[in-house]
């Protein structure tokens, strides 16, 4: 589609899946009311979920999933060499996601117990940035389609974009959602990066921190307040470690 007689430049985009459920990829094909306009801004050249076309002439690569095998490391490095911009998409790609919990287990013993004499290739879970350089990260489980669209506008059109620095609690205030602590539920909203519009607390579920820590979050004070509310430190640690976003802060 031309604008003022000028054909816009549509960057070639590829989407790749690694270890994960591929739910973030499905988000790209959701929200039908904006899908057509979204696709007009880009040219998809490699995206297994929606097309059999598979070309390597992409400029922007979106990575879904964490890295958990040696062959994934080599594949990711090859993608990084081809891509001008590489975007980690979702909690698995940004932090390791729920898969990171397996790093606390004996992988060899677990592999033998599950697969017996036919073990599968596996290794420690890593976020994408632990393997290659990442230009942008879009956290969330799954990602927000609206946020992804704003990131694409930023990359393609140069429209300014910045992730919120405030915590999820602010999103809850905007939606007039009663604090989950008032419902005797543990919630990481006070220390988790906002921008998701707080769907979990709105639906009656305490935040699990899938977007990682908010800037300057006071984890020690959060622990104190949660313990004051009757939550054990073990439960708090389990919640903090679920998506891997608070790795290194616990």
Q: Does residue 7 form part of some domain?
A: no
Sorted by sequence, the CB contacts under 8 Å of residue 90 that are 6+ apart come out as 20, 23, 24, 64, 65, 97, 138, 139, 140, 141, 142, 143
Q: How many CB atoms lie within 10 A of CB 243?
A: 29
Q: Does residue 163 form part of some domain?
A: no
Gap between the Cα atoms of 247 and 205, Å rounded: 22
What CATH number has the domain bearing residue 16? 3.40.50.700
- pLDDT score of 156: 74
- pLDDT score of 154: 83
Choice between 1 and 246, residue whose per-residue pLDDT is larger: 246
Gap between the Cα atoms of 118 and 124, Å rounded: 19
SS3 label, residue 243:
coil
Q: Does residue 73 form part of some domain?
A: yes
- pLDDT score of 36: 80
- To the nearest whole number, what is the mean pLDDT of the chain? 91
Gap between the Cα atoms of 34 and 217, Å rounded: 34
Q: Does residue 64 form part of some domain?
A: yes
Instruction: Name the percent of the chain lying above pLDDT 90.
Output: 73
Residues 122, 63 share a domain? yes
* Tokens standing for residue 69: 């095998």
Residue 131 has pLDDT above 70, yes or no: yes
Q: Does residue 2 form part of some domain?
A: no
Residues 229, 143 share a domain? no
- pLDDT score of 60: 93
pLDDT band at 221 (very low <50, low <70, confident <90, very high): very high
Q: Report whether 102 contacts 125 (CB < 8 A).
A: yes
Gap between the Cα atoms of 138 and 64, Å rounded: 10
Q: How many CB atoms lie within 10 A of CB 75?
A: 14
SS3 label, residue 28:
helix
Residues 115, 57 share a domain? yes
Residue 50 has pLDDT above 90, yes or no: no
Please give the span between the terminal C-alpha atoms of the chain, in angstroms, as a whole number. Answer: 50
Domain boundary among 112, 134, 157: 157
Q: Does residue 188 form part of some domain?
A: yes
pLDDT band at 6 (very low <50, low <70, confident <90, very high): low
Q: Report whether 43 contacts 59 (CB < 8 A).
A: no
Mean pLDDT, residues 157-170 = 88
Q: Return the residue matching tokens 């990084």.
A: 80
User: Residues in the chain, how many?
Assistant: 250
Q: Is 223 exposed, middle or buried, given 0-12, 13-18 or 19+ CB atoms closer than 10 A?
A: middle
- pLDDT score of 24: 93
Give how far the C-alpha of residue 245 lies from the chain's centroid of Cα atoms, to the nearest Å.
Answer: 9
pLDDT tens sequence across 66-120? 999 999 999 999 999 999 999 999 999 999 999 999 998 899 999 999 999 999 9
- pLDDT score of 57: 96
pLDDT tens sequence across 109-121? 999 999 999 999 9
Residue 1 has pLDDT above 60, yes or no: no
Q: How many domains does the chain have?
A: 2
**pTM of the prediction?**
0.90
Domain assignment of residue 40, given as a range? 12-157
Sorted by sequence, the CB contacts under 8 Å of residue 220 that are 6+ apart come out as none
């Amino acid at each position: 589609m031309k604008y003022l007689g000028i054909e816009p430049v549509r960057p070639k985009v590829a989407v790749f899946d690694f270890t994960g459920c591929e739910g973030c990829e499905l988000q790209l094909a959701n929200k039908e009311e904006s899908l057509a306009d979204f696709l007009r801004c880009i040219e998809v050249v490699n995206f297994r979920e929606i097309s059999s076309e598979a070309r390597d002439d992409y400029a922007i690569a979106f990575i879904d999933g964490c890295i958990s095998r040696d062959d994934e490391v080599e594949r990711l490095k090859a993608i990084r060499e081809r891509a001008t911009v590489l975007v980690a998409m979702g909690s698995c790609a940004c932090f390791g996601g729920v898969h990171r919990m397996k790093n606390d287990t004996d992988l060899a013993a677990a592999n033998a117990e599950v697969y017996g004499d036919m073990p599968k290739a596996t290794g420690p879970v890593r976020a994408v940035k632990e393997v290659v350089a990442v230009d942008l990260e879009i956290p969330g489980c799954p990602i927000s389609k609206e946020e992804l669209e704003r990131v694409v506008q930023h990359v393609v059109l140069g429209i300014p974009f910045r992730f919120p620095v405030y915590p999820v609690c602010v999103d809850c205030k905007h939606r007039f959602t009663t604090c989950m602590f008032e419902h005797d539920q543990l919630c990481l909203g006070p220390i988790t990066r906002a921008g998701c519009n707080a769907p979990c607390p709105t639906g009656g579920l305490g935040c699990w921190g899938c977007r990682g820590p908010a800037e300057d979050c006071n984890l020690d004070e959060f622990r104190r307040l949660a313990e004051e509310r009757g939550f054990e430190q073990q439960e708090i640690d389990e919640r903090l470690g679920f998506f891997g976003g608070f790795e290194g802060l616990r």
